[in-house]
């Protein structure tokens, strides 16, 4: 078991790769299958919030059972995303940084929008 203080993205990707390899699941972890699994897990996260009011959704982490479900689904989404990135050799942090750079150019801050 890894301590939370030791968590980092490359380490987690390595653990996921080792987990998959130990179970000989690599033939099934194609980009198509991983992105489909990612979509399913993201939908399971959406399902938690589906019929909540905005106020209820803002308080979802106050209930231990709901909070546990949210954390589990977030973990599943992130796990499949990291595995997808590993299979396609995509650096997720570099991809995110580049996307933020592009969005900063596409959506420049105008007067009065800072808090939007």
Closest CA to 83 of 6, 28, 3: 28
Which is higher by pLDDT, 30 or 5?
30
Taking each helix axis as running N to C, give the angle between helix 64-88 and helix 9-22, from 0 to 180 degrees, rounded to the nearest 10. 80
Q: Which residues of 61-97 are buried (b: 16+ CB within 10 A; e: fewer)?
A: eeeeebeebbeebeebbbbbbbbbbbbeeeeeeeeee
Structural domains of the chain ordered from first start? 31-106 (1.10.287.1080)
Q: Phi and psi for 114 in degrees, rounded to 5?
A: -55, -40
Per-residue pLDDT, 7: 84
* pLDDT digits 0-9 by tens, 21-80: 999 999 999 999 999 999 999 999 999 999 999 999 999 999 999 999 999 999 999 999
Q: pTM value?
A: 0.86
**DSSP summary character for residue 111:** T
Dihedral (CA of 47, 20, 96, 32) sign = negative
**Residue 16 host element (H or E):** helix 9-22
Number of H helices, E strands in the chain: 5, 0
């Amino acid at each position: 078991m890894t301590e939370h203080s030791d968590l980092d993205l490359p380490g987690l990707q390595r653990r996921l790769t080792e987990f998959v390899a130990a179970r000989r699941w690599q033939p099934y972890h194609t980009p198509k299958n991983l992105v489909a699994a990612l979509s399913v897990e993201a939908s399971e996260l959406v399902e938690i919030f589906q019929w909540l009011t905005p106020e209820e959704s803002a308080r979802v982490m106050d209930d231990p059972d709901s909070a546990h479900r949210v954390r589990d689904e977030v973990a599943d989404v992130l796990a499949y995303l990291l595995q997808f990135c590993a299979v396609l050799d995509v650096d997720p942090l570099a991809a995110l940084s580049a996307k933020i750079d592009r969005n900063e150019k596409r959506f420049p801050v105008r007067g009065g929008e800072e808090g939007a």
